[in-house]
């Protein structure tokens, strides 16, 4: 059984702003979210093993997610000077990924077969080997919630976690599927 109190303490110590239980049965993988990836707004579509199509079809992602019952959602919230404060947005994203990697390392000892799903594409390597060579670190790569087809706001709402913390804030959300 998962000790959510312990996970919350560990998550806070790692640096996350918010940690909440995740009921994996609430996760819906939506073709329209995956289509946003195909529109290539972030310029990573087809350039990274963790992004579509490299991360697998929606059906393959669904099969992975359905192996789990419980998990946690983690967030890093940044305070912006104004809605155009790109520097703080980028700093908050970097902090979130730093927290994500640190928590992943701690959780692997207790949940060796967990599925980490992050915010944004995998950045483990300076340059991804996709599509010419296999991933260098297949056990350490992670796809984003959107790459899996998750509408992040909906996942948060369905698991009683706030997503929007008010004007001049930015929220990065990831999850760890544990059991």
Closest alpha carbon to 172 in 48, 15, 32: 15
Six-digit token string for 70: 């419980």
pLDDT for 156 equals: 98
Q: Which tens digits make up the pLDDT trace of 53-110?
A: 999 999 999 999 999 999 999 999 999 999 999 999 999 999 999 999 999 999 999 9
pLDDT for 38 equals: 84
What's CA 47's distance to the chain center, in Å?
18
Q: Is the model's pLDDT at 159 over the cut of 90?
A: yes
pLDDT for 113 equals: 94
Q: Which tens digits make up the pLDDT trace of 39-63?
A: 888 888 889 999 999 999 999 999 9
For residue 90, give every residue at least 6 positions away whose Cβ sits within 8 Å of its Cβ, in sequence order, or none: none
**What is the bridge-based pairing of β-strands 115-118 and 143-144?**
parallel
Place of tokens 């099969």: 63
State what percent of residues in the chain have pLDDT above 90.
Answer: 84
Q: Domain boundaries in the chain?
A: 4-177
Closest alpha carbon to 169 in 83, 100, 109, 74: 83
């Amino acid at each position: 059984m998962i000790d959510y109190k312990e996970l919350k303490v560990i998550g806070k110590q790692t640096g996350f702003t918010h940690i909440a239980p995740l009921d994996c049965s609430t996760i819906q993988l939506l073709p329209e979210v995956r289509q946003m990836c195909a529109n290539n707004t972030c310029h990573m579509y087809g350039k990274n093993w963790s992004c579509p199509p490299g991360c697998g079809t929606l059906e393959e992602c669904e099969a992975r997610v359905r192996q789990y019952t419980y998990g946690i959602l983690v967030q890093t919230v940044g305070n912006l000077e104004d809605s155009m404060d790109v520097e703080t947005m980028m700093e908050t994203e970097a902090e979130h990924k730093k927290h994500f990697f640190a928590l992943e390392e701690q959780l692997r000892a207790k949940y060796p077969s967990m599925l980490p799903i992050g915010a944004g594409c995998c950045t483990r390597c300076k340059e991804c080997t996709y599509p010419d060579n296999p991933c260098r670190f297949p056990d350490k790569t992670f796809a984003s919630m959107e790459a899996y087809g998750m509408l992040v706001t909906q996942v948060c709402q369905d698991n009683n976690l706030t997503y929007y913390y008010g004007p001049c804030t930015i929220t990065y959300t990831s999850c760890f599927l544990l059991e």
